Structure 1
Amino acid sequence: MTKEILKQKPGDSPSTPPGPARQAKMPIVSSSHLASGRSAELSEFEFGLIIASNAFNRWAVRCISAVGMKDMTITDVLVLHHINHRAREKKLADIAFILNIEDTHVVNYSLKKLQALGLVKTEKRGKEVLYSTNEAGQDVCKRYFEIREQVLVSGLSGDGTESFELSELARFLRILSGLYEQAARSATSL
């Protein structure tokens, strides 16, 4: 029995005979009850999205930790980078909107934390509070970039095709996020 399992290809189940007798590729999913009918490919994609999302979150937190910022969450990292984006001041509502975070309290908590860490400054204009990175925040973002280039970007193949492929994948993810948003609105109305 053990030898048969070792001969199997990835995706084979223990009950599927190894080799040519195998008829169809089994999708790799986290919830087989969601992988029936036309949704098998979507379930496989969603599982990939889940593990990629968790890996990205872990990477970003470990990278910012390598910069010296030990107690930051993924939301803190994303908020910091967005505030630093194009060196423009940002409003709380705009930060939450761009990062697609529904609960502005989550973003507000990160903003207070980033202020306490001395990475963000505020300016009040009328009723609005605008956030921007100070010199320390800009330095953290710069060091994050350097570590990212060294240990993550250097792992790309470097033949020039990954730019196009990553760009197309990013476009697909943006389209898919719109479909999920519409489906979420539809599910809320049921």
Structure 2
Amino acid sequence: MRRSLAVLSLAAAAALLAACTATAPTAAPAPSETTTATAPSPSDNRLIVGIQAVAYAHDGDTTVVSYTESQQLQDLLRSISDQDPKQATVDGPPGYDMQMTRYDYGGISLLSGSDGRASITVETATFHGVPVTTQEGIAVGSTRADAVDAGARDGYDQNGDGVADWLDLGSVEITGTQSLVNPGSVGIQFVMLGLDGDTVRELQAPANDFSDL
């Protein structure tokens, strides 16, 4: 039986989405308890892309769905867009015998494998009228300076010009992993920001520094 989406207060949602100093297990469990409390007003409705979950603040409540729950993420985006996604099969990286499915909702897409986990890519500042941001308030269209002020750090320099084309935002240590970037350190997850020049063009999560996928 499919679980219902967890509905939490904004404070509880923030705790689940928080990064920086938290330590999480490799397979972070999805919220299992359902509580309801008055939180943001309808004018504050927004979709929040966190490191380990997506939160939808709406109608005075906040719904939180973990990236480990692909079907629930699909249900959430479908409930906001009121439409079914375009689906496409995607081959895994070279050397990996795997296939994934991309669910494209227009501006937001999910990539999901057979294990039920998903990653999200956001290429729009609003999704069917709902603002989409990170927990820190960074959105498509934000500037590099905005992202750095929010705590983003240089990630990947894709074109080798000495300026990072991808920034890493936030940090959650994942127990049982080792960083490929900082040998000897525990691996981390974060939200990745793709830039076009000095403007954020997309958000991706969850990203990490301990996997080569």
* TM-score category (smaller protein): under 0.3
TM-score between the two structures when normalised by the length of structure 1: 0.23
Which is helix-richer, 1 or 2? 1
Structure having the higher strand fraction is 2
Larger Rg: 1
Higher relative contact order (CA 8 A, sep 6+): 2
